[in-house]
Amino acid sequence: MAQTVDRDQALLDPAEIMPRVLGRYSPLQVDHGKGIYVWDVNGDRYADFTSGIAVVNTGHCHPHVVEAIQDQAAKIIHAQANILAHSPMLRAATLLTETTPPNLNQVFWTNSGAEATEGAIKLAKVATGRPAIIAFKHGFHGRTHAAMAVTSSRAKVRGHYEPLIPSVYFAPFPYLFRSPYKGAPEDADLYYFAELEALFDHMVMPDDVAAMIVETVVGEGGYLFPTTRWLQKVRELCDQHGILLILDEVQSGMGRTGKMWAFEHFDVVPDIMTAAKGLASGMPVSAVVSDRKLMDTWAPGSHGGTYGGNAVGTAAAAATFEVMRDEDLPGNAARMGEILMQGLREIQADYPVIGDVRGLGLMVATEFVHPDGSPNPEAVKKVIASAFEQKTLLITCGTYDQGIRIVPPLVVNEEQIREFLDVYRRAVAAAS
Ligand SMILES: Cc1ncc(COP(=O)(O)O)c(C=O)c1O
C-alpha cells in the first residue's frame, strides 16, 4: 500500500517526473471534464476555452463518444491495419469522406498531426516524382523532421534540430494585420501572391516542386486568415505547374470554423488534406485524405505504421462524426462565433490594447499591441493570468505570443459565451 501512496505523491509534482520541455500553461491537475468544463483534483471547475488546443470539439467526454470508446475497448483494442480490417476504421473513413469533396475519397489513418504531415509530404513526393516543397511563413505542421522543415511559426520549434529535410522553400502567408505592403489594403493579398510567384524566378523551378503545403487558417502562428482570392490563386498556380496542394486542416477542420473543413469558406479543394485534433474528440487519431488515383501511387509497404487506424481511436472518430452531424456542431460554431466576435469587438472598442479581433466560427483570436502597434506579449500574459483567476483557461498564439486563442468546444452555448465575454472584459481591463 505504501507504494500506492508514493505514486500518488509523485503525481503531485509533474516537474519531477516529466521534462520541462513540455512547458505548461497552468498548474492544474485535472480530474475530469464534461462539455466545456474541466474539474481539478480539488473539485474546482474551469471553463476550457482551449479545447485542449482545438481538440475536444464535441466537448469533454461527450456521452456518445464515451460509449463508442467503452464498447469498442471491450471488443478489440488493437487490430493492426496491415493484418486486419475492422468496422470502426471503415465506418470512420466512410463518415469522413461523406464530409469531403469527391476527390478526397480515401483515408490513410495516422496518429498525430505531425504524422499526417509526414504522410502527406511522402505521398506528394511519390505521386509527382519531384523533390521540393513550398511552405508558408507562420505555418505550423508538427514536430517531426519533415514537419519541422515546413514549419516557420517560430524559430524555437525548428532551431537546434538542423539539418532538416532539404528543398523546402518559404513564401509569406497573408498576415493582413501586419502587412508590409504600402498600397491599398485590399490589394495586400496580391502582394503576398506575387512573393510566392517570385520563388519561381529566384529559388526553385516549378517542375521540381511536388507540393505546396498550406494551413487553410494558420493556427499556432497567429490565427491568420487568407483571402479567398489568395487561396484560389495558390490553387491555380499549383494546377498550372502540376504541383499538388496540401491543405493542413489539423486545427481548422472538424467544424471549428463554422464549416466542417475551413477550405469550404474559400471555395478551394486540395489534392491532399491532413486532419487530426478534433477528428476523434481527444483520441490520438489523424488522417491523410486524398484521391484514390494519387493514393494508388503509394506501393504497398512504402508507407505505414503500427497503430494507424486503431480500433478504439477510429470508433471515437466515427462517433465524433455522428455527433458533428446530429448536433450540427459546425452550425453552432458559426452562430456562437458571431456572438463571440461581436462581443470581442465591443471590448476592443474600449481597450486599444487589443489591436485586432479575427476569426471564423469558433476559431477566434485577439492580437494585443503596444500603443506603437508592436506585439504586446506582456498584456497577453496578464490577460491569461486574470482569466485563470476567474477559472477560465486560454492559450496564446503567434510568433511572439502576441495573440490569445479563443477556441471553446463547439458545444458551447450562448449563456456560456456571454459569461466568457464578461470574464474576458475584466481580464483585458486588468491588463490595460
Ligand atoms: C495546423 C497543425 N498541423 C499540425 C499540427 C501537429 O499536430 P500534432 O501535435 O498532433 O503532431 C498542429 C498542432 O498544433 C497544427 O496546429
Query: Which of the 8 DSSP states describes residue 243?
Result: P
Pocket test for ligand 1, best of 251, 261, 263 (most atoms within 8 A of CB): 251
pLDDT at 1 (0 to 100): 34
Please state, rounded to an integer, the average pLDDT across all residues of the chain.
Answer: 96
Query: Which of the 8 DSSP states describes residue 58?
Result: T
CATH no. for 2-58+328-431: 3.90.1150.10
d(Cα 193, Cα 205) in Å, to the nearest integer? 17
What is the identity of the amino acid at 190? L
Query: Which of the 8 DSSP states describes residue 178?
Result: G
pLDDT class of 149 with cuts at 50, 70, 90: very high
Give Cβ neighbours of residue 203 (< 8 Å, ≥ 6 apart): 169
CA of 142 to the centre of ligand 1 (A): 5
Asked if residue 118 has its Cβ within 6 Å of ligand 1, the reply is no
d(Cα 146, Cα 117) in Å, to the nearest integer? 8
Q: Which three cell numbers stand for residue 29?
A: 491537475
Paired sense of beta strands 244-248 and 209-215, if any: parallel
Residue with CA nearest ligand 1 atom 3: 141
Tell whether the torsion through CA atoms of 325, 329, 334 and 335 is positive or negative.
positive
pLDDT at 11 (0 to 100): 60
* Stretch(es) of the chain classified as CATH 3.40.640.10: 64-326
CA of 163 to the centre of ligand 1 (A): 21
Asked if residue 249 has its Cβ within 6 Å of ligand 1, the reply is no
Asked if residue 140 has its Cβ within 6 Å of ligand 1, the reply is yes
64-326 has which fold? Aspartate Aminotransferase; domain 2 (3.40.640)
Query: Contact, 396 vs 49, CB < 8 A?
Result: no
Residue with CA nearest ligand 1 atom 16: 251
Asked if residue 250 has its Cβ within 6 Å of ligand 1, the reply is yes
CA of 65 to the centre of ligand 1 (A): 22
Residue with CA nearest ligand 1 atom 7: 113
* pLDDT for residue 376 is more than 60: yes
* Omega prior to 163 cis, within 30 of 0: yes
Instruction: Give the Cβ contact number of residue 97 at 10 Å.
Output: 15
Average pLDDT for 98-112: 98
CA of 275 to the centre of ligand 1 (A): 9
d(Cα 316, Cα 284) in Å, to the nearest integer? 10
Average pLDDT for 325-338: 98
Average pLDDT for 231-254: 98
pLDDT at 10 (0 to 100): 44
* pLDDT for residue 5 is more than 70: no
208-227 residue pLDDT tens: 999 999 999 999 999 999 99
379-411 residue pLDDT tens: 999 999 999 999 999 999 999 999 999 999 999
Query: Contact, 283 vs 272, CB < 8 A?
Result: no
Average pLDDT for 362-375: 98
Q: Which three cell numbers stand for residue 342?
A: 461581436
* pLDDT for residue 18 is more than 90: no
CA of 429 to the centre of ligand 1 (A): 32
Average pLDDT for 370-379: 98
CA of 240 to the centre of ligand 1 (A): 29
* pLDDT for residue 30 is more than 70: yes
Give the residue among 262, 263, 305, 319 at the shortest CA–CA distance from 71.
319
Query: Contact, 205 vs 89, CB < 8 A?
Result: no
Q: Which three cell numbers stand for residue 316?
A: 471515437
Residue 246 backbone dihedrals phi, psi, to 5 degrees: -100, 120
What is the identity of the amino acid at 49? F
* Stretch(es) of the chain classified as CATH 3.90.1150.10: 2-58+328-431
pLDDT at 7 (0 to 100): 47
Residue 19 backbone dihedrals phi, psi, to 5 degrees: -70, 155
What b/e sequence results for 298-324 when a residue is b if at least 16 CB atoms lie within 10 Å of its CB, and e otherwise?
A: beeeebebeebbbbbbbbbbbbbbbbb
Pocket test for ligand 1, best of 250, 273, 288, 289 (most atoms within 8 A of CB): 250
* Closest atom, ligand 1, to C-alpha of 113: 7
pLDDT at 382 (0 to 100): 98
432 vs 364, residue with greater confidence: 364
CA of 80 to the centre of ligand 1 (A): 24
pLDDT at 4 (0 to 100): 41
Give the residue among 196, 46, 209, 204 at the shortest CA–CA distance from 124.
209
Pocket test for ligand 1, best of 117, 141, 144 (most atoms within 8 A of CB): 141
222-236 residue pLDDT tens: 999 999 999 999 999
pLDDT at 164 (0 to 100): 97
Asked if residue 276 has its Cβ within 6 Å of ligand 1, the reply is yes
* pLDDT for residue 16 is more than 90: no
298-316 residue pLDDT tens: 999 999 999 999 999 999 9
Tell whether the torsion through CA atoms of 41, 44, 45 and 46 is positive or negative.
negative
Percentage of the chain modeled with pLDDT above 90:
94
Distance of alpha carbon 309 from the chain centroid: 20
Q: What is the pTM of this model?
A: 0.96
Asked if residue 50 has its Cβ within 6 Å of ligand 1, the reply is no
pLDDT class of 2 with cuts at 50, 70, 90: very low
Run of H or E including 405: strand 403-406
Asked if residue 248 has its Cβ within 6 Å of ligand 1, the reply is yes
| Residue 61: Cβ-neighbour burial (10 angstroms; 0-12, 13-18, 19+) | middle
80-97 residue pLDDT tens: 999 999 999 999 999 999
Residue with CA nearest ligand 1 atom 8: 113
Asked if residue 220 has its Cβ within 6 Å of ligand 1, the reply is yes
Average pLDDT for 38-55: 97
| Residue 406: Cβ-neighbour burial (10 angstroms; 0-12, 13-18, 19+) | buried
